Amino acid sequence: MRCWAGAVLAVVALAVPAVRAQTLGGGAENGPQPLTIAQGCVTSRYFDFSYRLPEGMKAQQIPNAPPAAGAPRPVMLFVTYRDRGAHRDVAVATAEELRGEKEPSAAKWMDRLREANAGREGVVNQSSLASETVNGQKFWSLTFQQVREDGSVVNEAVYATALRGYVVSFTFGSAAQPELAAMAQSIQSFEPSATGCGAGK
């Protein structure tokens, strides 16, 4: 099974200086239904989760391109960004349907990502896989750095979980380690969609 995470990470690396838009999940024909974002709260009825974006992240909705016939690919759920002077922080979420696997495993998906990173030029300081449970949902995580052609370094953290036959991943990228750590903390807001980012608490 091919791991599409490399494509996601390429998006993050390019997005740090350039992303201007957000892609919400495609229509029912693409699997995941559209997300909604209101006052920084992302809600997916299809995957039954809500998630609060890191503070100050911006996004615009644009159409999601249909997948090539017969070719599985991740659905881009959202891309958000915030500018900090000359730098740009980025948060990306995707959902990849793992065809042929009876029980899609986020741990296996992350293992494939880690193996792919090991063979990629410019990826350094990669961590071991870690796991944690957030509001009853198990996530696997990985951190590493990408050295870009201009010599700048992008710090990245990836969190992945299995939902409805998909692996849903959240990737955070920043030139500053403290900013990355603060962004990664936002995964703690992940919870069932009915809760709506803490509504009623």
Reported as a single tens digit per residue, the pLDDT across 49-81 is 999 999 998 875 544 544 444 555 678 888 888
Topology of domain 5-195 in CATH is Protein Transport Mog1p; Chain A (3.40.1000)
In sequence order, the 6+-apart residues with CB closer than 8 A to the CB of 64 are: 23, 24, 25, 26, 30, 75, 76
- Over range 142-162, report the average pLDDT: 91
151 confidence band (pLDDT: 50, 70, 90):
confident
Please give the pLDDT value at position 199: 63
Kindly tell me if the per-residue pLDDT of 201 is higher than 90: no
CA distances (Å), origin 181, targets 23, 39, 178, 185:
24, 22, 5, 6
198 φ/ψ sector (left φ>0, alpha ψ -120 to 50, else beta): left
102 confidence band (pLDDT: 50, 70, 90):
low
Please give the pLDDT value at position 73: 64
Domain boundaries defined on the chain: 5-195
Please give the pLDDT value at position 70: 52
**């494509």: which residue's tokens?**
7
> Residue 2 burial by CB count (10 A; 0-12/13-18/19+): exposed, middle or buried?
exposed
Kindly tell me if the per-residue pLDDT of 19 is higher than 70: no
| Helical H segments across the chain, by residue range | 5-18, 106-118, 177-184
pTM: 0.81
**């890191």: which residue's tokens?**
54
